[in-house]
Amino acid sequence: MASSSSFITEIMRIGPLVITNTVVVTWGIMLVLGLVAWAASRHLSATPGPWQVVVEGIVASIEAAIRSVLPDHYRQVMPFIATLWIFIVVANLASLIPGLRSPTGDLSLTAGLAILVFLAVHWYGIRTNGLRSYLRHYLQPNPILLPFHLISEITRTVALAVRLFGNIFSLQMAALLVLLVAGFLAPVPVLMLHIIEAVVQAYIFGMLALIYVAGAIQSQQLKSKREKE
């Protein structure tokens, strides 16, 4: 079992593929979320019970948040953004379970999510505005700004990945150090801070992704609307 860092461990190897604990925990999270979703949607009724109220409240809150940013296209981006929020929250909080660690403390996962956001931004932008119209917005308001647009695309994607990774990794590291230095119950306040930080970072990641997607979708629409006016 190879260990490349203090948190990432290799679980198994399938040919050239190295399966780390990050992937295994992610599979576990996927399994749990899939089962919860399946269980939650099995007996939906017109008169909801407490469990259904909680589930509907979460989904409705996410949908309302997305709709407030993208009123016309919230149904398109809802699965992607909502899954980002739910997965990152659960992944961030996974380290509260003894023996587990947050998969978001792995740069490979956060980079993957950031790349997905990067691709989703262009996917939704092209799908909504068309390829030519979408690419044209890189030349506006002046073609001289094209390099800055390209740099911005790269840096914000890198920032997404590094921000989430850095926060979660540092929290886990701080909790480990406090545990090593101060003793058994000393990291509890740090873990409480971890809960807040987990929710906040998930919100930030998802909201930034939503804003990037909204910018891509609405870049040409706002311009054409202004021209019509």
190 in contact with other proteins (CB under 8 A): no
Return the structure tokens found at 34.
Answer: 């899939």
**What whole-number distance in Å separates Cα of residue 101 and Cα of residue 229?**
53
| Cα separation, 46 vs 30, whole angstroms | 28
Does 170 bind other proteins (CB under 8 A)? Our answer is no
Query: Is residue 94 part of the contact set for other proteins (CB under 8 A)?
Result: no
- Going by their DSSP bridges, the two strands 10-14 and 17-20 should be labelled as antiparallel
| Residue 228 C-beta: closest distance to other proteins, Å | 31
Residue with tokens 């970072």: 201
Please report how close the Cβ of residue 65 comes to other proteins at its closest, in angstroms.
14
What six digits make up the tokens of 201? Answer: 């970072």
165 touching other proteins, by CB under 8 A:
yes
Contact predicate 53/68, CB 8 Å: no
Binding segment for other proteins among 79-87, 135-143, 192-200, 215-223 (CB under 8 A)? 79-87
Nearest distance from residue 117's CB to other proteins, in Å? Answer: 10
Q: How far is the CB of 187 from other proteins (least distance, A)?
A: 22
Applying CB under 8 A, does 40 fall inside the site for other proteins?
Answer: yes
Stretch that binds other proteins, among 20-28, 121-129, 181-189, 198-206 (CB under 8 A): 20-28
Q: Is 46 in the site for other proteins (CB under 8 A)?
A: yes
Residue 18 found at the interface with other proteins (CB under 8 A): yes
Residue in 86, 190, 208, 210 binding other proteins, rule: CB under 8 A: 86
Which residues of this chain interact with other proteins, rule CB under 8 A?
4-5, 8, 16-20, 22-23, 26-27, 29-30, 33-34, 37-38, 40-41, 44-46, 48, 52, 55-56, 59-60, 63, 78-80, 82-83, 86-87, 103, 106-109, 111-113, 115-116, 165, 169
